[in-house]
């Protein structure tokens, strides 16, 4: 059965299944695949909402000094990395390396660490609002799968914040959380 999800991709779903096949044949829980597609399809809109938030949030005043096109690219890149993480195209080590380097760059730019962290929290909040608006968690199986998805999103942003902070502080070694 092919399901048309409007702006989202079509899925091939076996009746009663909660799995979806992606274009390259990989299988994901349907909610995860929907989220990946939501991020891909709505990344531009989510990024524009982020820019609006930066413009009006007094706690992100340093971010307003960044060129709007550059800020757009940065926010869009976060959603891109999140989509890769959810689809398991990236590893913990890749996330660690990327976010530590980003933390160093933000320190060199003179951005306060508190604003770097808040910026990531705003990006996460906008994504969850979009998920709620799309009605992606309306059935019991959706809610069950959404718990796994929620954990993956939280872990992604937690690692992003932690490793960006380590990079910002220029720590050579930051133990993995829980070690």
Domain residue limits, the chain: 30-168
User: Looking at beta carbons, which pairs linking 104-110 to residues 24 or more positions away fall under 8 Å?
Assistant: 104/167, 104/168, 104/170, 105/167, 106/164, 106/168, 107/167, 107/168, 107/169, 107/170, 109/66, 110/62
Per residue of the chain (179 residues), what is the pLDDT tens digit?
Answer: 333 333 333 333 333 334 443 444 444 445 567 777 777 788 899 999 999 999 999 999 999 999 999 999 999 999 888 888 777 788 888 888 999 999 999 999 999 999 999 999 999 999 888 877 776 666 666 667 767 777 888 888 998 999 999 999 987 677 776 65
Instruction: Provide the pLDDT for residue 6.
Output: 36
164 SS3 class: helix
Which residue from 157, 162, 20 is spatially nearest to 79, judged by alpha carbons?
Answer: 157
Under 8 Å between Cβ of 153 and 92: no
The CATH code belonging to domain 30-168 is 1.10.490.10
Under 8 Å between Cβ of 32 and 149: yes
pTM, full prediction: 0.75
Under 8 Å between Cβ of 100 and 163: yes
Which residue from 116, 99, 83 is spatially nearest to 163, judged by alpha carbons?
Answer: 99
**Distance (Å, whole) CA 87 – CA 27:** 10
């Amino acid at each position: 059965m092919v399901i048309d999800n409007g702006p989202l991709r079509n899925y091939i779903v076996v009746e009663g299944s909660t799995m979806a096949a992606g274009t390259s044949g990989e299988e994901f829980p349907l909610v995860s695949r929907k989220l990946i597609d939501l991020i891909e399809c709505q990344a531009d809109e989510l990024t524009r909402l982020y820019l609006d938030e930066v413009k009006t949030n007094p706690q992100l005043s340093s971010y307003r000094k960044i060129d709007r096109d550059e800020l757009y690219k940065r926010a869009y890149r976060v959603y891109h990395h999140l989509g890769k993480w959810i689809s398991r195209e990236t590893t913990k080590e890749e996330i660690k390396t990327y976010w530590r380097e980003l933390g160093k760059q933000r320190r060199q730019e003179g951005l306060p660490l508190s604003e770097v962290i808040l910026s990531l929290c705003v990006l996460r909040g906008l994504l969850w609002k979009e998920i709620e608006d799309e009605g992606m968690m309306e059935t019991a199986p959706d809610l069950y799968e959404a718990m796994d998805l929620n954990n993956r999103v939280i872990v992604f942003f937690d690692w992003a914040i932690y490793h960006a902070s380590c990079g910002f502080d220029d720590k050579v070694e930051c133990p993995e959380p829980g070690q």
